[in-house]
Structure 1
Amino acid sequence: MAIAVRLRWCLQIFMLEACVVLTHAANLDYLRSTLTNYFSDTRHHAVKPEYKQRTATFIHDEFIRFGLETTYHNFVFDGVEYANIIGVLKGDNFGTYDDQIIGVGAHYDTVNVTKGVDDNGSGSAALLEVARQMTSLESKRKHTVIFTAFDREEYEYATFDGRFYGALGSKYLISQWLLPWIQKNYPQTVGTFSPYGIIVLDTLMDYNNSARSQIIPPDSLQEFQQLFPGVVKNLQSDNLQGDFLATIFRTQSDSRLANEFHQQWGKMGRADYEIEMFGLAPNLPDDVLNKVADLNRSDHINFWAKNIPAIFLSDSANLRGKMQDCYHHTCDSLEVMLNDDNLNFLAKTSDTIAATVDKLSQSYAAVSGAPGVGKTVLTLMTASSICVFLIQTASRL
């Protein structure tokens, strides 16, 4: 028994010193200060252009500080210039057929009447936190990662396939920057390029575990039951609590990305912060899709239109809690949205995104071996598996 106690104690010390380094843990102070200082006021070109520019400059400068290859993508619409901000973290396979790019993106602009802390200060803060985490680890990766802050997502009159939607920044980024960039850097893969896809973040921090804080639109209940029977059953059995992150994806095209995110979410603890998977089957009729249009209301729709895999993460915006009243209104503010539950919910989401991107980009660390052995390559995910094994072993002693 004494030997077992000593072994368990040694394993616990080792895990404290080694395993914690390999797990993702969001910096709550960074998330809070980012939201407070740069995403707490209107970011609209005609209302507060100075604040919006200050936010864009901050994102750009943070990308540079994190060591990303950073650039503005400027585009013009209706005589006004806008700016997407792009940061590239190149992998070993950059420019080759073997590279499988993964992206993370969030829009940073707002409508003209809101402070936009949840929509979409939360997604932008998570984008920066993921970039911070991934570049703070002493690691390399095989596949390239692209971080993108989209401008002019909030545009209510652009149309696609007869539907009203926004997302102008991502639309122009794909056609004017991403596709030419791929043709330039991956000329041998044109027509066969197969990225992992992009994780789109939009409104992420309205957590509410009160009964009936989550809405299923009454006029769409039949369609939700038809398309997502498991989700509806879960919500109804949980008294319609708004305590989950919604993951929206196409079952035929985006499952690889969605399933990896779902697995990583389960490893992050805090089981009270739940997840629901909204998988859209292929070839759904327009009348059904129109009934669940809230699931198509962000930048992911433009990637879907170009057959690029994408998943959309959201707290469901105006279908939940305080955002039922505050979506696109002045009360989407620090006073209403910034609290400990919301911040920790955003932190778990950020950690899960970082772990997902780390796994798919195949990150690895160079570990010095014994004298004369040279360097050994140890993947971070393998190291994490070792830690899980040690934790399980210690718990059995």
Structure 2
Amino acid sequence: MQTNLSDSARTLERAEEAERILRACVHCGFCTATCPTYQLLGDELDGPRGRIYLIKQVLEGQPATTSTQSHLDRCLSCRSCETTCPSGVRYHDLLDIGRAVVEQQVPRPLGQRLLRHGLRFAMVRPAVFKALLRTGQALRPWLPAQAQQKVHLQKAADLMRPAVRHPRRVLMLEGCVQPALSPATNAAAARLLDRLGISVTPAPAEGCCGAVDYHLNAQAQGLQRARRRIDAWWPAVEAGVEAIVIPASGCAAFVREYAHLLAADPAYAAKAARVSSLCRDLVEVLGDAPVEQLAVPAGRRLAFHCPCTLQHALKLGGAVEALLIRLGFTLTPVTDAHLCCGSAGTYSLTQPGLSRQLRDSRLDALERGQPDEIATANIGCQVHLNGAGRTAVRHWVEIVEEALRHAEERAGANEG
């Protein structure tokens, strides 16, 4: 694609990158066929090719409008288009660049500004988020239906974690909202790793990886949080920790991007590259482990919702499914498994109508095979899908670890 960036666009820190991405696009339209919002809305400007044209126009000097902003806002950043693209266009990077420019040119209405600031304040502070969640759960009967879906009551969770006892050691990113919304997930991951001879070293005080700020167009703040996360992990990295394990694929996808996003920072480029290289989604650590020795009882029927961050960003589509099959679970078929569920970080809050339509469509596909339960690999997808009040959705590691414990309990009872 021919480009002619304006003088002001050429002063942007990522101007060369934007121009390189634009020129890589051959506007073939393959991306449109796999774009969830285009399939839903049928508008060329609500597909990747149309959004690329909008960003190109802005970078070439045409003024951005509220319409431009709306079309970019409606993108899920699911990156399904990147999986489809034959030219390897890094659409998500161009979208980040374009959104930042448009954000400067188009003031948002007060309601949008308050919502975005509120999300950035609450979600990146685990203690604040947990307090707000508990308050919402207490007031749940009086909340609007949409809010009730976000603060559904939780079952009692097993939070026991094994002591650090193995030579193989990893760090674990606990996450901002996962400890409050799904407290059993990280504990189950630690116990499963322990069974395989890997100890989780207690991490420094938790904080956001930067994804929430960054994807709400507060990119400088998001990168600053990334630097703080690197600083917190660095002593353990220098001490030789084997990996930084992240059970939430959304967080793993962003930490994997540290190397790219901080490549121009002389103080952090090398450290960011090292942290990104150590970043592992949980399935990457377990994928090579001798999981067959765990002897999970066979026969449980699961539908697996593969998060966009797992399949399109981390390129690990099929990895969890293969692991579950190795462990003895039966997986039901899921049509159009490449499509987004509509969670997409804060998308379910900033674009609730579209998000619900995408969620219900995904659940229809996931439930078609009549699974006993739905498994996923990202907290956002888990909470969003559960909000419909249909088939229960849990992180796959919880389901696996629970099955192991029940098998051991039955074996102990039989021996007794």
Q: Give the structure-1-normalised TM-score.
A: 0.31
Instruction: Identify the structure with the greater helix proportion.
Output: 2
Q: Give the structure-2-normalised TM-score.
A: 0.30
Q: Which has the higher contact order (CA 8 A, sep 6+)?
A: 1
